[in-house]
Structure 1
Amino acid sequence: MDDGTIKEVNTADCSGFTPAPGIEVDVFSAENKVIVSKKAVPFSANQPHKVNKIAYVLLAFFLGGIGIHKFYAGHIILGFIYLIFCWTFIPGFIAFIEFIIGLCKTADEQGNIQV
């Protein structure tokens, strides 16, 4: 709760989601009924995305010069920037560095990395 107290509720009171540690929620109570809803998280373009490590590094190596790995990772604006400047070969060099960085990152249990 906002005041630092903890309120125990049934999962049936959660409107359409499964609660897990770290999820921010809004709690509404009226008389003897409690409603828990997941707090809306604003979209951030700089927010890291989880992607499959193998797919990401292969796309960065083979098609990184035109930004395909950025599109795959959900960084659409960066993907367009790579695509626009691909004729300079600078995005290709940056993609090769990102390929090496991606190879060095440790994948989680599902084989995903944050980019």
Structure 2
Amino acid sequence: MSYFTIYTTSRQTKIIILKQLFEEHHIDYRVLKEPKYSAVPVGFRIQVTEKHGERAKNILKNHGFLGTPEPAPDSHMLSRFWIYLSMALFLIVIISILIKLSGNL
């Protein structure tokens, strides 16, 4: 059987909903995980057979999964993480210097 990707998401809650919808409508599907080697969440691809492709697209449209693009992974959150980590490390260095200086007095 030939499968094709009908939907891609990084949100596990959407995968759970789509699995339930496809099972209710007896659509042959599979979920593939795509590991990413960064702080971005793991992505998932939902694939359906060519036989069930049109029905699956209609289900996705009727339930609001198609037509509204999913937001891209938030790179702003990742940059904020690195800024906060840098600030925390800087504070640790300053505090350790102050402790060292107070020990010399």
> What TM-score, normalized by structure 1, do the two folds share?
0.24
Which is greater in Rg?
2
Point out the structure with the larger helix share. 2
Q: Which has the higher contact order (CA 8 A, sep 6+)?
A: 2
> What TM-score, normalized by structure 2, do the two folds share?
0.26
